[in-house]
Amino acid sequence: MTPGGGAYEGIIESLSGNYDFAPESVELRVSPRRKASTLTGANCGVTSNTSVHELLECPVCMGVMYPPIHQCPNGHTLCSKCQLKVQRCPICRHELGNIRCLALEKVAESLELPCRNQILGCQDILPYHRRLRHEQICRFRPYNCPYAGAECPVSGDIPFLVAHLKSDHKVDMHDGSTFNHRYVKSNAQDVENATWMLTVFNCYGHQFCLHFEAFSIGMAPVYMAFIRFMGDDHDAKKFSYSLEVGGNGRKMTWQGVPRSIRDSHSNVRDSMDGLIIQRNMALFFSGGNKQELKLKVAGRIWKELS
């Protein structure tokens, strides 16, 4: 695990910012097992419309063109994103101008296409406008990497992200629903170089991220621990967790509901939805000389009876 000093600001807030207009060919990170079973289906659904799809392929970025679709005076089409980037028609080199191709826009709007998350398991086939709306809330849409310390652009389904956390972020993985963690920092004053850690727990057939970190609220350093669920909000709510930190005759307990990793790490942190340990208390818990920070966090995750 690498310390991520001061990188909190860089966390990607949400998918929606660049999601609507991402080219069709965007690479989805899918666990190998899933890829094998659904790829064939993806191809079948599209075959009957192949020629229309070719018509709607932007010659510059190769993505599917959605309205507004532009064309050169000779009728060569290109997508609105690429139109902003090039001065001349990529086919005939004619000056582009600002000409829309309304006929093709109508074709694009009338097409029913599979949800872009088909490869991740979505079966829905929808007309253009509804499809864009659906894709933003599609429950199969990829998750962002839950690793918080650095800007990580990786997204994918849960099995892929679990493998990614393990191999690329060297995150500790634990089996079981109870845990006992120690966080030790030799210089308790040092919040600038924020300590934060991520541990993944594997229980009830799901994965849970335990985040522990230090940050400042105004001038006051604060420690925080919380759990996020690797899956949708709907499933996250089926679980509860408790965290307990103590030592030196004092104890604090937090009980909460894990937040889905659909909620960005910074969102959860800013809403303070977790165990918050003020610095004075953290030093009490650590005992000793007030120099070294030694926190013992015990926790448990359980499934609520529905």
**β 178-185/293-303 pair status:** antiparallel
Identity of residue 257:
V
Are the beta carbons of 116 and 24 closer than 8 angstroms?
yes
Are the beta carbons of 98 and 70 closer than 8 angstroms?
yes
Coil, strand or helix at 40 = helix
Which stretch, 9-17, 34-42, 80-88, 97-105, contacts Zn ion (CB under 5 A)? Answer: 80-88
CB closer to Zn ion out of 107 and 257:
107
Classify residue 238 as exposed, middle or buried by CB count within 10 Å of its CB (0-12, 13-18, 19+). Answer: middle
Please state the closest distance from residue 255 (CB atom) to Zn ion, in A. 29
In sequence order, the 6+-apart residues with CB closer than 8 A to the CB of 33 are: 159
Please state the closest distance from residue 221 (CB atom) to Zn ion, in A. 26
Q: Which of 11, 115, 162, 301 binds Zn ion (CB under 5 A)?
A: 115
For 300, the token pair is 């448990």
Please state the closest distance from residue 61 (CB atom) to Zn ion, in A. 3
Classify residue 224 as exposed, middle or buried by CB count within 10 Å of its CB (0-12, 13-18, 19+). Answer: buried
For 72, the token pair is 């050169």
> In whole angstroms, what is the distance from residue 141 CA to residue 156 CA?
8
Stated length of the chain: 306
Q: By CB under 5 A, tell whether 163 contacts Zn ion.
A: no
Please state the closest distance from residue 195 (CB atom) to Zn ion, in A. 19
Q: Which of 7, 52, 91, 276 binds Zn ion (CB under 5 A)?
A: 91
CB closer to Zn ion out of 58 and 158:
58
Q: Which of 56, 79, 158, 243 binds Zn ion (CB under 5 A)?
A: 79
Q: Which of 7, 52, 111, 154 binds Zn ion (CB under 5 A)?
A: 154
Q: By CB under 5 A, tell whether 99 contacts Zn ion.
A: no
Please state the closest distance from residue 68 (CB atom) to Zn ion, in A. 12
Q: By CB under 5 A, tell whether 126 contacts Zn ion.
A: no
- 3 phi and psi, to 5 degrees? -70, 145
Which stretch, 25-33, 138-146, 205-213, 294-302, contacts Zn ion (CB under 5 A)? Answer: 138-146
Coil, strand or helix at 199 = strand
Q: Which of residues 1-60 bind Zn ion (CB under 5 A)?
A: 58, 60
Q: Which of 69, 120, 145, 277 binds Zn ion (CB under 5 A)?
A: 145
Binding site for Zn ion (CB under 5 A): 58, 60-61, 72, 74, 76, 79, 82, 89, 91-92, 94, 115, 117, 122, 124, 138, 145, 147, 152, 154
